[in-house]
Amino acid sequence: MKIITIIGARPQFIKAAVVSRAIQENNLISKNTKIEEKIINTNQHYDANMSDVFFKEMHIPQPHYNLHLGGGMQGAMTGRMLENIECILIDEKPDYVLIYGDTNSTLAGALAAVKLHIPVVHIEAGLRSFNMNMPEEVNRILSDRISTLLLCPTDTAVKNLKDESIISGVYNVGDVMYDAVKFYGNVAKPTELVKQLAMEPYFLATVHRAENTDDIDRLRNIMRALEMIGETQRVILPLHPRTRKIMEMNKIILNKVSVIEPVGYFDILFLLKNATVVLTDSGGMQKETYFFEKPCITLRDETEWVELVQCGANILVGADYNKILDAVRKNKVSENVFKEQLYGDGNSGQKIIEILQQRQK
Ligand code: UD1
Ligand code: UDP
C-alpha cells in the first residue's frame, strides 16, 4: 500500500508524527500489508522553530518533497499548493492521500487528490465551529465533503458529519494528539531557557488565530488582559510569528509578559504540564491542557472541542478583556472533569492503520 501524507503547518507535524510511527510499527512487526509512506511538506510553516524542531524531536521521517510554499494570501497559497501537489500525485500514484486538520495544506491536498480519483483520508474529520468566517471552517467542510475515509477524534465530530449526511467511511478513532502526549510526554526534556522560566508559578498563553490577530481591537484586548495578569503573575507567551509581525506593525508592546519565540514540542509539553492555567486560541492546546488536567481559558467565541466546555474544563471568553480577567479569577476546575476519556485511549495511530489495512483487503 502506498500512502502520500500531506503536511505543512505546526500542528500537522505533531499529528503526522503519530501516524508515521504507527506505519513504521506496522512494517516492523505486523503480518499485514507493508505500507510505503512518502511525505509532502508544503512548508506552509517554514521557520526552524515552527517546523524543523518537530521533525528532529519527534523523529518524523524526512519529507520526500519540500515545496516551500508558505506565506502570502490564502487563495494564492492554496492555489500554489494545489498545482504542485497535483504534479507529484500524478507521478507517485498513491493508493491513498492522508490529510490532517484544517489548514490550507489540508484543503490543497484534498482537492489535488480527489480530482485524480485518489481516495482521501482525512484525519481529524468532522470538527465544526459553525463559523464560516474562519478559514479553518471552510477548509474542513470542503475537505470532509471530498474525503473517502473520515477519521474523527470524537463522537461529536461523527454526529456533525451525520448532520451533513456524511455517513459512509466515517470512524471515531480518537485523537492522535492524545497518542502524541502519551508517547512523547514520557521522553520529552525541556530546554534550559524554558526550565528557568518555569521555576516560578506561571500562566501559559498562546495567540495566533486569524480572528484574533487580524482584528486589531481583539488583539489589543487580549494583550491588555495578559499585561494585567502579568502585573501579579508570570505569564509565558511563546509568540507565533503571525502574531509577532502584526504586533510589531501595530506597536503593541508587552512589558509584563515573558514573550518568547515559539517553542518545540518537548518544551510545550513541559510548559503545559507545569502551568497553573492556560490561555489560548489554539485548537490543539485546548485538548492538551485537558490531558494535563489544567484549566483552559479559550480566547475564542466558539470552539470545535465542545465537550471540553460541556464538562467544565474549558471556558470560552472570546477577546473580551473583562471576561478574560474574570475567568482567571475563577480558575478552579474540579478534578473529576478530567476523569473521562473524551479523546480515545491513546491508540488512534494504530486504529487508523487497521482501518486502512481492512479497506485494502
Ligand atoms: C495556520 C492555519 C491555522 C493553524 C495554524 C497553526 C490556515 C488557514 N491556518 O495559521 O489553522 O491554527 O497554522 O499554527 O491554514 N509565518 C512565519 N513563519 C512561519 C509560519 C508563518 O513568519 O514559519 C508568518 C508569515 O508571515 C505568514 C503568517 O505567519 O504569512 C501566517 O501563516 P499561515 O500559515 O498563513 O497561517 P497561520 O496563522 O500560521
Ligand atoms: N505548540 C508548540 N510550540 C508552541 C506553541 C504550540 O509545539 O510554541 C504545539 C501545541 O502544543 C500543539 C500544536 O503546537 O500541539 C498546536 O498548534 P497551533 O496552536 O499552532 O495550531 P492549532 O492547533 O490551533 O491549529
The answer to whether position 45 is within a domain reads: yes
The answer to whether position 184 is within a domain reads: no
Compute, in angstroms, the gap from residue 33 CA to the centroid of ligand 2. 33
Joined together, the cell numbers standing for residue 255 give: 512589558
Joined together, the cell numbers standing for residue 50 give: 515552527
Kindly state whether residues 139 and 26 are assigned to the same domain. Answer: yes
Work out the angle between the directed axes of helices 321-329 and 216-230 (0-180°, nearest 10): 30
In this predicted structure, the answer to whether residue 317 has a pLDDT above a threshold of 90 is yes
Question: What are the angstrom distances between the C-alpha of 286 and each of 12, 62, 272?
Answer: 16, 28, 10
Round to whole Å and give the CA distance between 324 and 278. 11
The answer to whether position 205 is within a domain reads: yes
Kindly state whether residues 105 and 226 are assigned to the same domain. Answer: no
Compute, in angstroms, the gap from residue 264 CA to the centroid of ligand 2. 9
Kindly state whether residues 68 and 140 are assigned to the same domain. Answer: yes
- Mean per-residue pLDDT for 105-112? 98
Kindly state whether residues 298 and 323 are assigned to the same domain. Answer: yes
The answer to whether position 284 is within a domain reads: yes
Kindly state whether residues 166 and 278 are assigned to the same domain. Answer: no
Residue 137 in contact with residue 114, Cβ under 8 Å?
Answer: no
Q: Name, in order, each residue with C-beta under 8 angstroms of 201's C-beta and a sequence gap of 6 or more.
A: 233, 234, 276
CATH number at residue 38: 3.40.50.2000
Round to whole Å and give the CA distance between 3 and 222. 42
The answer to whether position 256 is within a domain reads: yes
Closest Cα to atom 31, ligand 1: which residue?
242
Closest ligand by atom to 109 CA: 1
Q: Name, in order, each residue with C-beta under 8 angstroms of 277's C-beta and a sequence gap of 6 or more.
A: 203, 204, 294, 295, 296, 297, 328, 331
Round to whole Å and give the CA distance between 166 and 243. 36
The answer to whether position 237 is within a domain reads: yes
Compute, in angstroms, the gap from residue 285 CA to the centroid of ligand 2. 6
Residues with CB under 6 A from ligand 1: 9-11, 44-47, 50, 70-71, 102-104, 135-136, 208, 241-242, 245
Q: What is the pLDDT of residues 131-190, one digit of tens each?
A: 999 999 999 999 999 999 999 999 999 999 999 999 999 999 999 999 999 999 988 999
Domain count, the chain: 2
Can you give the residue range of the structural domain that contains 305? 192-339
User: What region does 114 belong to: left with phi over 0, alpha with psi -120 to 50, or beta?
Assistant: alpha
The answer to whether position 234 is within a domain reads: yes
Kindly state whether residues 243 and 276 are assigned to the same domain. Answer: yes
* 265 pocket-lining for ligand 2 (C-beta < 6 Å): yes
Q: What is the pLDDT of residues 176-209, one digit of tens each?
A: 999 999 999 988 999 999 999 999 999 999 999 9
What is the model's pTM?
Answer: 0.98
Element (H, E) at 100: strand 96-100
The answer to whether position 182 is within a domain reads: no
Kindly state whether residues 168 and 201 are assigned to the same domain. Answer: no
Closest ligand by atom to 43 CA: 1
pLDDT (0 to 100) of residue 186 = 84
DSSP state of 184: H
Residue 312 three-state SS: coil
In this predicted structure, the answer to whether residue 118 has a pLDDT above a threshold of 80 is yes
Sequence-separated contacts (24+) of 76-79 with Cβ below 8 Å? 77/44, 77/104, 78/104, 78/107, 78/108, 79/108
Residue 347 in contact with residue 179, Cβ under 8 Å?
Answer: yes
Residue whose C-alpha cell is 463559523: 131
Round to whole Å and give the CA distance between 257 and 236. 6
Q: Where are the beta strands (DSSP E) in the chain?
A: 2-7, 36-41, 65-66, 96-100, 120-123, 149-152, 170-172, 202-206, 234-238, 258-260, 277-280, 296-298, 314-316
Q: How many residues does the chain have?
A: 361
Q: What is the pLDDT of residues 67-107, one digit of tens each?
A: 999 999 999 999 999 999 999 999 999 999 999 999 999 99
Given the residues 45, 64, 68, 208, select the one marked as catalytic. 208
Compute, in angstroms, the gap from residue 21 CA to the centroid of ligand 2. 20
DSSP state of 49: G
Kindly state whether residues 238 and 123 are assigned to the same domain. Answer: no
Kindly state whether residues 142 and 263 are assigned to the same domain. Answer: no
Kindly report the average pLDDT of the chain as a whole number. 97
* 283 pocket-lining for ligand 2 (C-beta < 6 Å): yes
Kindly state whether residues 306 and 236 are assigned to the same domain. Answer: yes
User: Which pLDDT band holds residue 121 (cuts at 50, 70, 90)?
Assistant: very high
* 285 pocket-lining for ligand 2 (C-beta < 6 Å): yes
Mutation probe of ligand 1 site: the residue of 47, 242, 280 with most atoms within 8 A of C-beta: 242
Kindly state whether residues 217 and 270 are assigned to the same domain. Answer: yes
Neighbour count for residue 34 (Cβ, 10 Å):
11
Round to whole Å and give the CA distance between 117 and 145. 14
Closest Cα to atom 36, ligand 1: which residue?
242
Which ligand 2 atom minimizes the distance to the CA of 238? 8
Closest ligand by atom to 269 CA: 2
Query: Angle 44-47-52 (CA atoms, 0-180°, nearest 5)?
Result: 90
208 in active site: yes
Residue 82 in contact with residue 6, Cβ under 8 Å?
Answer: no
Kindly state whether residues 48 and 163 are assigned to the same domain. Answer: yes
